């Protein structure tokens, strides 16, 4: 996944989020599914529910919030999460192609 990818919540307030500390619960209005998200996932949704972010921006923000062991592959975990959330219809990923 390229760093310039833009990650957003789906249109029309389809996904509603409620945050408590390091956890959040998401409701998908279309499918009626409710999801519990914690830790890194919560931070991702906290960020993109405020404004759209590129993958690079997400990574930066996560680095400022969490401290990881040196051998922890943040990028791999992040990409995995993004892929999962995308499959569940919780986020939209658009390739940012230069005009």
Partner 1 sequence: MKPPQPPILCSVLIEPRLALNFNLHQWDLLIRQARSANLLVRLGYLFDSTSLSNQLPAQPLAHIKSAQAYADRFYISLQWEINCIQNALTAVNVPLVLLKGSAYFIAENKAAKGRLFSDVDILVPEDKLLEVEMALIKAGWMTNTLDPYDQKYYRQWMHEIPPLRHLKRQTSIDVHHNILPKTTRFCPDANQLLANSVKIPEQNIWVLAPEDRVLHSAAHLFHEGEFTQGLRDLSDLDLLLKEFSTQENFWASLLQRADELQQQIPLYYALRYSHHILQTPVPGHVLKASQQQSPNRLKTALIDALFLRALMPIHDSCDNRWTGLARWLLFVRSHWLKMPVYLMIPHLLRKAYRRATGKKQH
Partner 2 sequence: MKLATLSKKAVIQALNNDGLRLKVGGFNVCLSSPVATVADHLLGLYGAFDVVDHTAFIDFYTSIAPPSKLRRFFRANVNFSFDGHIPFKPLPYKQASALFEWGLNWCIANHSHHYLVIHAAVVERNGQAFIFPGTPGSGKSTLCAALVSRGWRLLSDEMTLLSVADGWVYPIPRPISLKNRSLDVIRDFAPDVIMGPVIKNTAKGAIGHVRPPDDSVNLGEIPVQPAKLIFPSYLKGSKTELTPLSKSRALLKVAENCFNYNILGLQGFNSVGDLVDASDCYEFKYSNLEEAVALFTELAH
Residue with tokens 């943040």: 74
Cα separation, 74 vs 34, whole angstroms: 26
Beta carbon nearer to partner 2, 7 or 41: 41
Among residues 25, 81, 88, 93, the one that binds partner 2 under rule CB under 8 A: 25
In the list partner 2, partner 1, none, the entry touching 16 (Cβ below 5 to 8 angstroms by class) is partner 2
Q: What is the DSSP string of 20-41?
A: ETTEEEEEETTT--EEEEEHHH
Q: Cβ of residue 74: shortest distance to partner 1, in angstroms?
A: 34
In the list partner 1, partner 2, none, the entry touching 31 (Cβ below 5 to 8 angstroms by class) is partner 1
What does R_g of the chain's alpha carbons equal in angstroms? 13
């Amino acid at each position: 996944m390229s760093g310039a990818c833009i990650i957003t919540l789906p249109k029309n307030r389809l996904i509603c989020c409620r945050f408590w500390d390091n956890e959040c619960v998401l409701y998908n209005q279309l499918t009626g599914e409710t999801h519990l998200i914690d830790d890194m996932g919560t931070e991702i949704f906290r960020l993109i529910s405020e404004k759209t972010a590129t993958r690079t921006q997400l990574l930066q923000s996560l680095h400022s919030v969490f401290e990881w062991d040196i051998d922890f592959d943040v990028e791999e975990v992040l990409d995995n999460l993004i892929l999962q959330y995308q499959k569940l219809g919780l986020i939209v990923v658009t390739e940012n192609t230069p005009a």
